Amino acid sequence: MPKIIPAVLIALGLCLGCGTSHPTICEAPASSSSSTCTCGGTDAACPAEVQADVYAVANGQIATFPIQASTGALGTPTTSAGPASSLGMAAIPVALLFASNPQAASGGAINVWTINYNTGALTPVAGSPFSGGGVTAPAGLAVANNLGPAGPFLYVADAGKIDALQVNNATGALTAVPGSPFTSGTNLYLATDYMNHFVFAADEDSAGGVLAFTINASTGALTAVPGSPFAISSNSSGSMQLGQIVVDPASSFVYVAIPTTGQIAAFSIGSGGVLTPVPGSPFAAGSGAFAVVTINNSPGNNFLYVSNQTAGTVSGYSINSTTGALTPLAGSPFSVPADTIVADGVEHLYASGPSGMMVFSIATTTGALTQIGSPVSFAGATALAYVGP
């Protein structure tokens, strides 16, 4: 699920349906605190419709795939100009979309678009792409967007550093946070926890580990957590290639994919952001384990999925809410040839593979994946983002 509803929508509640094919943002009736809404009445209970979309970047294009709310299926995409290549996308829901652009004419930069919440259409922000703030070789991105008036902040995995950029709420423009860039190990991917207290980055230096930083809520500056980086134990020796990194929906655990060994490393998040390996970590995945997502399907049912690029499968796990241990789901690994994946946080998994964009429903209690419809043509996506209610 999205981390936060943007400031302009904080006073609004979410309802489904209202006689349309996609979710709407609606005002809660004065007589109720349930945020349910009535359509077609005189109280303007459904003033704005929010279109959910999946965005994919490949070969100089950003594709916008509208999501059908009734089924989760993807509609025909529209495309607009984007980076020639990108390893990271992030969003402030129904407000702004960001993509790393390592091949920008000005050097490494970040592309920023405003999102039309009715249609999902993208409009470049004035001044985009932004190349200031020490950005040189941007890769993965992460947003901290519930820090109040000071935020939001965008964090960029870069060459031996993490760039921290403040997002202008009015214009979407990016400016460097004081002290940025912040020294780090070799990292391509990073993540924030859902409370926006920490930034975690996959560290490929030495034998591999996870870098942890606290976020200054007033300035966005990063401070290394004592003991960081936290080592990964695996069946690999020497340097280690790492894939994507993610935090679980409860902000209790960190997971990082290890493509070279086909594993998932897991850590519990302790006081101050200190990480402790989860018993049994790393957990077996498939060959080329790379992209990783977590979802909260229903109370007590947290799942993790990882795309195994070489094996042509997706491994699924249930997350033990107490220990963080991963247990393979029945039927896992699923025959899904996916290079990268993203989820809506609740009930659908979206995947990019050789045949195009695919969508799968996620069973509420078992986490099993069932494909919806046929792949939608769009090959070569290197990064995905879900934006919606």
What's the pLDDT tens digit per position in 375-387?
A: 999 988 999 999 9
Same domain for 4 and 68:
no
Same domain for 120 and 224:
yes
Task: Kindly state the average pLDDT of the residues 305-324.
Answer: 96
What's the pLDDT tens digit per position in 25-71?
A: 443 344 444 444 444 444 454 545 678 999 999 989 999 999 998 89
Using CB atoms within 10 A of its CB, is residue 223 exposed (0-12), middle (13-18) or buried (19+)?
A: middle
Same domain for 344 and 248:
yes
Instruction: List the domain range (segments joined by +) for residue 32.
Output: 1-50
Same domain for 120 and 26:
no
Task: Kindly state the average pLDDT of the residues 219-245.
Answer: 84
Same domain for 367 and 229:
yes
Amino acid at 373: G
Same domain for 180 and 229:
yes
Per-residue pLDDT band at 346 (split at 50, 70, 90)? confident
What's the pLDDT tens digit per position in 142-189?
A: 999 877 777 799 999 998 899 999 999 889 999 999 999 999 888 899
pLDDT at 62: 96
Per-residue pLDDT band at 16 (split at 50, 70, 90)? very low
β-pairing verdict for 61-66 and 53-58:
antiparallel
Task: Kindly state the average pLDDT of the residues 9-24.
Answer: 35
Task: Kindly state the average pLDDT of the residues 261-277.
Answer: 96
- 266: CATH: 2.130.10.10
Task: Kindly state the average pLDDT of the residues 179-200.
Answer: 93
The contacts of residue 31 (CB under 8 Å, 6+ apart) are: none
Residue 23 has pLDDT above 80, yes or no: no
Q: What is the rounded radius of gyration, in angstroms, for the C-alpha atoms of the chain?
A: 20
The mean pLDDT value of the chain amounts to 85
Same domain for 310 and 274:
yes
Same domain for 148 and 7:
no
Please report, rounded to a whole number, the percentage of residues in the chain having pLDDT higher than 70: 86
Angstrom distance (rounded) from CA 356 to CA 54 = 13
Same domain for 305 and 221:
yes
Same domain for 93 and 1:
no
Task: Kindly state the average pLDDT of the residues 356-367.
Answer: 95
Using CB atoms within 10 A of its CB, is residue 106 exposed (0-12), middle (13-18) or buried (19+)?
A: exposed
Residue 13 has pLDDT above 50, yes or no: no
pLDDT at 187: 87
pLDDT at 237: 56
Task: Kindly state the average pLDDT of the residues 277-304.
Answer: 92
If you ran DSSP here, which 8-state letter would residue 185 be given?
A: S
Residue 205 has pLDDT above 60, yes or no: yes
What SS3 state is found at 149?
Answer: helix
Per-residue pLDDT band at 4 (split at 50, 70, 90)? very low
Same domain for 190 and 42:
no
What's the pLDDT tens digit per position in 92-121?
A: 987 999 999 998 877 799 999 999 988 999
- How many domains does the chain fold into? 2
215: tokens are 């976020």
Report the Cα 230 to chain-centroid distance in Å: 22
Residue 318 has pLDDT above 50, yes or no: yes
pLDDT at 40: 43
Among 50, 74, 90, give the residue marking a domain's end: 50
pLDDT at 217: 92
- Among 194-198, 236-240, 349-353, the range scoring the smallest mean pLDDT is 236-240
Task: Kindly state the average pLDDT of the residues 305-334.
Answer: 97
Among 50, 68, 83, give the residue marking a domain's end: 50
β-pairing verdict for 289-298 and 301-308:
antiparallel
Residue 291 has pLDDT above 90, yes or no: yes
pLDDT at 32: 41
157: tokens are 């995995």
- Among 108-117, 120-129, 197-206, the range scoring the smallest mean pLDDT is 197-206
Beginning with the edge strand found earlier in the chain, give each strand of the sheet holding 96-101 in spatial order. Answer: 89-92, 96-101, 109-115, 122-124
Same domain for 124 and 30:
no
- Among 14-23, 73-82, 165-174, 237-246, the range scoring the smallest mean pLDDT is 14-23
Per-residue pLDDT band at 233 (split at 50, 70, 90)? confident
Per-residue pLDDT band at 352 (split at 50, 70, 90)? very high
